[in-house]
Amino acid sequence: MAEIIDFKTTKKTTIAKCCQTHTCKDGDCIEGNHRDYAEYDILLDEKVASVMQKWILGIDSNNVLESWKPTGPKPAGNSYAESVLSKSVLKMYGYNLPWQLVQAPCAHTSQSIELHNFYDLIYHDHTARKIMLVSASAYFFKMPVSRGLLSMLYNTPDTKRSYDFFSYKAVKSLIEQKIIIITNDYMEQPVQPTGIMFSSADNQIILPSKIYLHRFIEVVAWSLRFAVRNYSEMELAMQPYTDKCWKSAEPTAEGMHVFNFSKGVK
Residues 119 and 28 in one domain: no
Is 90 exceeded by the pLDDT of residue 242?
Answer: no
Q: Output the pTM of the full model.
A: 0.73
What is the model's pLDDT at position 8?
Answer: 40
Residues 57 and 167 in one domain: yes
pLDDT band at 266; cut points 50, 70, 90: low
What is the model's pLDDT at position 151?
Answer: 93
**pLDDT per residue as tens digits for the range 156-213:** 888 888 888 888 999 999 999 888 999 999 999 999 999 899 999 999 999 999 988 9
How far out from the chain centre does Cα 2 lie? 24
**Cβ neighbours of residue 80 closer than 8 Å, sequence gap 6 or more:** 151, 152, 153, 155, 156, 157, 191, 193, 196
Residues 78 and 193 in one domain: yes
Residues 35 and 128 in one domain: no
**pLDDT per residue as tens digits for the range 107-158:** 554 555 666 676 677 777 888 888 988 999 999 999 999 999 999 998 888 8
What is the model's pLDDT at position 61?
Answer: 59
What is the model's pLDDT at position 235?
Answer: 85
Strands 17-19 and 34-36: antiparallel
**pLDDT per residue as tens digits for the range 35-53:** 454 457 899 889 999 999 9
Residues 117 and 212 in one domain: yes
Specify if 242 maps to a domain.
Answer: no
Q: How many domains, in total, are found in the chain?
A: 2
For residues 82 and 237, give the distance between their C-alpha atoms in angstroms, rounded to a whole number. 33
